[in-house]
Amino acid sequence: MSGEKLRIGFIPLADAATVIVAADKGFTAQEGLDVELVREVSWSNIRDKLNVGLFDAAHLIAPIAIASSLGLGHIKVPIAAPFVLGTNGNAITVSPTLHAAIAEAADGDITDPAVSGRALARVVARRKAKGGEPMTFGMTFPFSTHNYQLRFWMAAAGVDPDEDVRLVVLPPPYMVESLANKHVDGFCVGAPWNSVAVDLGIGFILHFVSEILARAAEKVLGVRSTWAQENPDTLTRLLRAHGRAAAFIEDLANRDEVSAMLAAPHRIGVAAEVIRRTLDGRLKVAPDGTVRASARYLLVGREDAARPDPVQAAWLYAQMVRWGQAPLSPELLAVAEGVFRPDLYDAALGKPLEPFVGESADRIGAFAGPAFDPNDVAAHLAAWKIGRR
């Protein structure tokens, strides 16, 4: 195969689907691009290899693109996110013991995050009263949606994520093992790891994150801003290939083919049936086989989900401020919003004729608190008692 060579890094997760299908189904080749996909083991590696130019583009957790652009935790390398690879798609899974304790302490339906949060607060308080060690929850990276989603859910119910429980970073492939050997009581991670825990009978999916936030940008296709500037034509072709791949994935007629493609050992490397559950949004949530379905579990391309929305970037930046990772300033907010690039998306794929009308007016749809206003991050922060500012 000839064509312009590009190296793209990814982590074996279901929301790498668009990157994998774009290359393996030949959409990138049709655009004259010779893409080499490189499977990575850590987000730190992906970030560093993208930053130093060993990767041209990468499957990236959205907050890493923002943190890198703000120079938080590492060297400052401005990143552009011209395409959203996945919206939502994470889930919170808890051990059978914690699940039973939450169900027992609940004052209603625990699929409602307000109810499950209050129940968690009671479980935490009882444990503290007995002098027990705080519970531990796993998430994937300090600058991750998983971290912010767990914190948002807990803190809304009065559980302080730094004082009342412990949050620890765990690489996704280690989550299930850590739950099995009781190093953690629960975790927030992307597909397929929640399903793997349920299938092994060691975990219950408590929440899809779409129950906590109706619309949360999860993974983006990240490139260095300078690279985007210097290679506009290549970027356009890359985005067109991703647009076609996302549409191909969302077409139900292709679902078996897509699931098999993603399941390949050198790609995600789990059973195709498990991938299919994720794409269909029909997940087994309990070891007894109970299924929960959601049309919002993982959005790949439908509902304009692939088009970057700066409001999402602003919300993520607000979480960084709330949890003490970044100071609050209008300049930093502008940098964060500027990471999400609908202009580059539109240049390659055309601007949607009508903006998508979602069910939540603020385009975030959090289960608790006032509507999010990107022009008033201070108000968002003031709405919460618990925070690390």
Partner 1 sequence: MDASLKIVIVDENPIRAAILEEGLREAGHVQVVRIEDTTRLLARVYAIDPDVILIDLENPSRDVLEQMFQVSRAVKRPVAMFVDQSDKASIEAAVDAGVSAYIVGSLRKDRVKNILDLCISRFNAFARLQDELDRTRSALEERKVIDRAKGILMNAKNLSEEAAYALLRKTAMNENKKIAEVAQSVITAAELFK
Residue 220 in contact with residue 310, Cβ under 8 Å? no
- 32, 36, 75, 290: residue in contact with partner 1 (rule CB under 8 A): 75
For partner 1, which is the closer residue by CB, 214 or 220? 220
Q: Is 41 one of the binding residues for partner 1 (CB under 8 A)?
A: yes
- 5, 76, 126, 182: residue in contact with partner 1 (rule CB under 8 A): 76
- 7, 74, 122, 127: residue in contact with partner 1 (rule CB under 8 A): 74
Q: Is 140 one of the binding residues for partner 1 (CB under 8 A)?
A: yes
- 15, 24, 31, 48: residue in contact with partner 1 (rule CB under 8 A): 48
For partner 1, which is the closer residue by CB, 44 or 111? 44
Count the residues of the shown chain that bind partner 1, applying the rule CB under 8 A.
Answer: 27
Task: Look at residues 168, 169, 208, 178 and name the one whose alpha carbon lies nearest to residue 191.
Answer: 208
SS (H, E, C) the chain: CCCEEEEEEECCCHHHHHHHHHHHCCHHHHCCEEEEEEECCCHHHHHHHHHHCCCCEEEEEHHHHHHHHHCCCCCCCCEEEEEEEEEECEEEEECHHHHHHHHHHCCCCCCCHHHHHHHHHHHHHHHHHCCCCCCEEEECCCCCHHHHHHHHHHHHCCCCCCCCCEEEECCHHHHHHHHHCCCCCEEEEECCHHHHHHHCCCCEEEEEHHHCECCCEEEEEEEEHHHHHHCHHHHHHHHHHHHHHHHHHHCHHHHHHHHHHHHCCCCCCCCHHHHHHHHHCEEECCCCCCEEECCCCEECCHHHCCCCCHHHHHHHHHHHHHCCCCCCCHHHHHHHHHHECHHHHHHHHCCCCCCCCCCCCCCCCECCCCCCCCCCHHHHHHCCCCCCC
The CB-of-278 to partner 1 minimum distance in angstroms stands at: 21
- 21, 101, 110, 170: residue in contact with partner 1 (rule CB under 8 A): 170
- 30, 42, 225, 254: residue in contact with partner 1 (rule CB under 8 A): 42
Q: Is 236 one of the binding residues for partner 1 (CB under 8 A)?
A: no
Q: Is 200 one of the binding residues for partner 1 (CB under 8 A)?
A: no
Could you tell me which stretch among 69-77, 115-123, 218-226, 246-254 binds partner 1 (CB under 8 A)? 69-77
- 3, 134, 174, 302: residue in contact with partner 1 (rule CB under 8 A): 174
Could you tell me which stretch among 72-80, 118-126, 186-194, 294-302 binds partner 1 (CB under 8 A)? 72-80
For partner 1, which is the closer residue by CB, 7 or 282? 7
Q: Is 68 one of the binding residues for partner 1 (CB under 8 A)?
A: no
The CB-of-107 to partner 1 minimum distance in angstroms stands at: 33
For partner 1, which is the closer residue by CB, 173 or 358? 173
- 100, 103, 168, 382: residue in contact with partner 1 (rule CB under 8 A): 168
Could you tell me which stretch among 42-50, 152-160, 206-214, 361-369 binds partner 1 (CB under 8 A)? 42-50
Q: Is 183 one of the binding residues for partner 1 (CB under 8 A)?
A: yes
Residues in contact with partner 1 by the rule CB under 8 A: 41-45, 48-49, 51-54, 73-76, 140-142, 162, 168-171, 173-174, 183, 325
